[in-house]
Each structure stands twice: as structure tokens, then as C-alpha cells.
């Protein structure tokens, strides 16, 4: 691994560690998303506690945490596998942020942002899949899980050389949703627009 690649990986983790949800909730004088709702500092929980504007801001910032380091690496002609590691580092920063006591979100928006530089067609298919599943079943977590399971196939159709790094990233997202999978199976997962049950 080259020094440049190592610097990119570390920088991606540090950028990912900036918790958009916590900071935006502080600015908007909303409760800390780590202590209310689903206790997840992500856009879906912020939507529950703060409304659409705050959630949209969190979604955009979380996506940029993935897009910026991967796009920079893309233009620096970093190997696709290393780009995948950069993307994973950004998501790990979001999930386990060093600046916020390692208590972070699920990494879906950051992963989408990291995949976006591959192409708008791929990004559109990913977003379309999430919206379709969310509309049909009303579960944000189910939409995320289904989407990341099919995303490597989408990557293979669009740019096959990125299939493996995208698959690596998607595996991380599925593992991070293990609690959601358990709640989906036992029927306790809250639907979009619902408060989390006690």
C-alpha cells in the first residue's frame, strides 16, 4: 500500500467520524439523536425527531462524507480495491466516530455517497431501489438491506471493475444492520413515520 493510499484511508475515517446528525441537531436545538427515537444518529431518526429539513441536511452531509474521499481517490487514479477500502474507512468513521465516543449511525447514506462517483446511473438504480422498497413496505431498514444486497449486481452491470469493492462495502452495511434484521423478524421494527416502541 502506497503512502498516498494510507493517507486517504485515514482521512476518510476522520471525515466519516464527523457526526452530521449530532451537529445538526445541536444547531437546530433538537434532542441528541443518540438518546431518543431509535438512538441512531442518522437521517431516518432525525426525520422522526426533527422533521424533513433537518433530515435532508443530515442525509446530504452524510453522503458527502463518502463522496469527497472516494471522488478524490478516483481522480488520483487509486486502485479500485483501495478505493473500496477508502469507502469502507469513511463508513467505519460514520459507524464508529472517534470524535463522538464511537457511537455512530448505520452508514447507508455515507455508503451511497461513496458509491456515487462510480456513476449517476448506478446511483439512480440504488436510490430507486431504496425508494421502491420503502414505499412498498414502509421500513427504512428493510429498504437499506434489500438495496445493499442488490447493489453489487448493479455495479457489475455498470462498471464491473468496481464490483468487489462495492460488495465489500455492502457486506459492512448488512452487518451493521444485524439489530434491525432481528427486529424485522420479530415484528418490533418501527415503520417510517412511526416512533420506536418502548
Grid cell listed for 180: 434491525
Domain presence at residue 59: yes
Q: Residue 118: inside a domain, yes or no? A: yes
- pLDDT score, position 198: 42
pLDDT tens sequence across 78-135: 998 999 999 999 999 999 999 999 989 999 999 999 999 999 999 999 999 999 999 9
Asked if residue 133 belongs to a domain, the reply is yes
**191 domain residue, yes or no:** no
40 within domain boundaries: yes
Cα dihedral: 130, 171, 110, 71 (round 10): -110
Averaged pLDDT for residues 127-152: 96
**Residue 48: all three cell numbers together:** 422522526
Range of the domain at 104: 3-186
pLDDT, average across residues 138-162: 95
Question: Which pLDDT band, with edges at 50, 70 and 90, does 194 fall under?
Answer: low
Q: Provide the number of structural domains found in the chain.
A: 1
Tell me whether residue 193 is in a domain: no
Give how far Cα 110 sits from Cα of 20, 32, 137, Å.
11, 20, 23
Residues 6 or more apart whose Cβ sits within 8 Å of residue 176: 95, 106, 107
Residue 119 lies in a domain: yes
Whole-structure pTM value: 0.90
Amino acid at each position: 500500500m502506497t503512502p498516498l493510499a494510507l493517507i486517504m484511508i485515514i482521512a476518510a475515517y476522520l471525515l466519516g467520524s464527523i457526526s452530521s446528525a449530532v451537529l445538526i441537531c445541536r444547531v437546530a436545538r433538537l434532542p441528541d439523536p443518540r438518546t431518543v427515537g431509535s438512538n441512531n444518529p442518522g437521517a431516518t431518526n432525525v426525520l422522526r425527531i426533527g422533521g424533513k429539513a433537518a433530515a435532508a441536511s443530515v442525509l446530504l452531509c452524510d453522503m458527502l462524507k463518502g463522496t469527497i474521499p472516494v471522488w478524490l481517490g478516483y481522480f488520483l487514479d487509486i486502485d479500485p480495491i483501495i478505493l473500496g477500502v477508502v469507502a469502507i474507512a469513511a463508513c467505519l468513521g460514520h459507524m464508529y466516530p472517534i470524535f463522538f465516543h464511537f457511537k455512530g449511525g448505520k452508514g447507508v447514506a455515507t455508503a451511497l455517497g461513496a458509491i456515487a462517483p462510480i456513476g449517476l446511473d448506478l446511483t439512480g438504480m440504488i436510490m430507486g431501489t431504496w425508494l421502491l422498497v420503502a414505499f412498498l413496505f414502509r421500513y427504512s431498514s428493510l429498504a437499506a438491506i434489500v438495496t445493499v444486497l442488490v447493489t453489487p449486481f448493479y455495479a457489475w452491470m455498470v462498471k464491473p471493475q468496481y464490483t468487489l469493492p462495492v460488495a465489500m462495502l455492502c457486506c459492512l452495511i448488512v452487518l451493521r444492520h444485524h439489530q434491525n434484521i432481528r427486529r424485522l423478524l420479530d415484528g418490533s421494527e418501527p415503520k417510517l413515520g412511526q416512533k420506536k416502541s418502548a
